[in-house]
Amino acid sequence: MALKSKLLLGATGLVLAWPGLAAADPATDAKIAALEAQLSLLQAQIAELKISTGASIAAKRPDAKTASASIAGGKPTITSSDGKFSATLHGVMQLDTAKYDQHDRLPAAVTARDLSGGANFRRARIGVDGRVFGAFDYNILFDFGGSGAEDSGRIQEMWVQYSGLKPLRFRVGAFAPPLGLEDAASTNGALFPERPAAADIARGLAGGDTRIGGGVIGHGDHWFASAIATGALVQSLNSATTAFNAPIFDEQQGYALRVAGTPLHGADWLIHVGANASVVAQPTDLGAAAGTRYALQLRERPELRVDGSRLVDTGQIDARGAQAYGLEFAAQKQNLYIQAEYFDFSVDRRNPAVGASDPSFNGWYAQGSWVLTGERRKYNTTTAAFDAPGVDKPFDPSNGQWGAWELAARYSTIDLNDAENSLIAAERVRGGEQDIWTLGVNWFPNPAVKFMLDYYDVSVDRKNAAGAAIGQDYRALNLRSQIAF
């Protein structure tokens, strides 16, 4: 507006200052016409400047439709102006530091497992997820962590999903299909550093990390259902020390099914129930040169992976298929919650010995927590599982804020023995029985940072092929430091 006034005043001054303006002669008329032409040109320039200036101001308004960049919950996100495209950077660091106490009931020196204490990056992940063309979601995630030792980077998840037909989502790629209440929960907000043994064995049968598959997932406010057809694990050639590069011929074929929900619920409480099934329809073909061509093996670490030893293990079973069926239960009332699952496993032998039956196993766990600072664990309806509690007062000593504090306890058991004393040697499965009591304290200074201190009491009863006891009792203490965004 100031520029317009200056231009008009300048033009008016030129007209008034012209000598002999009042004279009515042809020369004067020509000069007046020239000045009027200049004045019209100036007015046109002023109008054009006004339009361009207004457009510039409008573009700077908060409500203008432009691409945006933000950091919410520690996650950097870029979103297009129409919301149809987005990319969010995310990462996880979990550092475990453990001490093992093995003074009691060690097996003979020749079979003793001297568990190694120390530190290990359990997970070291970086990735990006987002949306393209409105209805398609994606996730790309790489992991450099491991069990017992860190690993070379490998694909953890890489999938694309169509979400335009609500409430269903159609996903294909490499991902862990939901196979239970604990399996569906995010490891970032888990109650303990590792899943219960029974739950982890069940998820690994036809699902588990880096599993290639495709299927449909659906959810509502109080229900969840999924059906995934699964294949092999993602193969990797960059680390000869991992199982990811084991040579295979025909890949495993399986199915992962789950239904769950909260049929009973209130303003500050809920009851969760569910059922799941993991089915191996065709085991992996390891080739004619393998000791057991179609081998299935159930084994597990003792719920802490600073040392990667597996203390219960069925060994390779020549199988034509296997099944794991699970039942889920959980209840929450304000800042108190409990959770339990039961799993039944069965393996169909391919060439059973005369008189030998198909082996079956089972396991279960129960766990719970009490958030001392009053927050409660979040129930995620999109996964039908519990996540970390909110943090009402992030850590700020100057204002007397100390984050969220949680007490936790768990008992888990897994029995991988079947016909262990049978007179038919080929029928015996001496995988062992493992019982673990765990007590923990979790501190959440803010939603991105977490510290976990856990005490383990582990008892393993197991015999080797010759019938000698190779079980052991021990205790362990672990501190996990985590940042996740």
Question: Average pLDDT, stretch 25-30?
Answer: 67
Q: Are 187 and 193 in contact (CB under 8 A)?
A: no
pLDDT band for 112, please (50, 70, 90 cuts).
Answer: low
**How many helices (H) and strands (E) in the chain?**
4, 23
Query: What is residue 72's predicted lDDT score, i.e. its pLDDT?
Result: 80
The yes-or-no verdict on residue 425 having pLDDT over 50 is yes
Written as one string, the DSSP assignment of 96-113 is: EEEEEE--SS---TTT--
Written as one string, the DSSP assignment of 71-140 is: EETTEEEEE-TTSS-EEEEEEEEEEEEEEEE--SS---TTT------EEEEEEEEEEEEEEETTTEEEEE
pLDDT tens figures, 198-219: 999 999 999 999 999 999 999 9
Written as one string, the DSSP assignment of 252-292 is: PEEEEEEEEEEEEE-SSEEEEEEEEEEEEEE-----TTSSS
Q: What is the CA radius of gyration of the chain?
A: 33
E strand map for 250-394: 253-265, 269-282, 295-296, 299-300, 312-313, 317-333, 336-349, 360-371, 377-380, 385-389
* All residues at 6 or more sequence positions from 129 whose CB lies less than 8 Å from its CB, including other chains: 87, 88, 90, 137, 138, 139, 140, 141
pLDDT tens figures, 56-66: 554 455 454 67
Cα three-residue angle 457-461-462, rounded to 5 degrees:
140
* All residues at 6 or more sequence positions from 309 whose CB lies less than 8 Å from its CB, including other chains: 113, 115, 148, 301
Structure tokens at 430: 């001496």
Instruction: Report which secondary-structure segment, H or E, holds 70.
Output: strand 68-72
Q: What is the spatial distance between Cα 216 and Cα 167, in angstroms, rounded to a whole number?
A: 10
219 burial (CB, 10 Å; 0-12 / 13-18 / 19+) is buried
Residue 93: beta bridge partners? 124, 483
Query: What is residue 256's predicted lDDT score, i.e. its pLDDT?
Result: 98
pLDDT tens figures, 330-368: 999 999 999 999 999 999 999 888 888 999 999 999 999
pLDDT tens figures, 127-155: 999 999 999 999 999 999 999 888 888 89
pLDDT tens figures, 450-459: 999 999 999 9
Q: Are 246 and 286 in contact (CB under 8 A)?
A: yes
Which pTM value belongs to this model?
A: 0.83
Pairing type for strands 269-282 and 317-333 reads antiparallel
Q: What is the spatial distance between Cα 457 and Cα 473, in angstroms, rounded to a whole number?
A: 8
pLDDT tens figures, 382-419: 999 999 999 999 999 999 999 999 999 999 999 999 99
Closest by CA position to 414, among listed 131, 194, 162, 186: 194
Q: What is the spatial distance between Cα 253 and Cα 321, in angstroms, rounded to a whole number?
A: 10
Cis preceding linkage at 167, omega within 30: yes
* Average pLDDT of every residue of the chain: 88
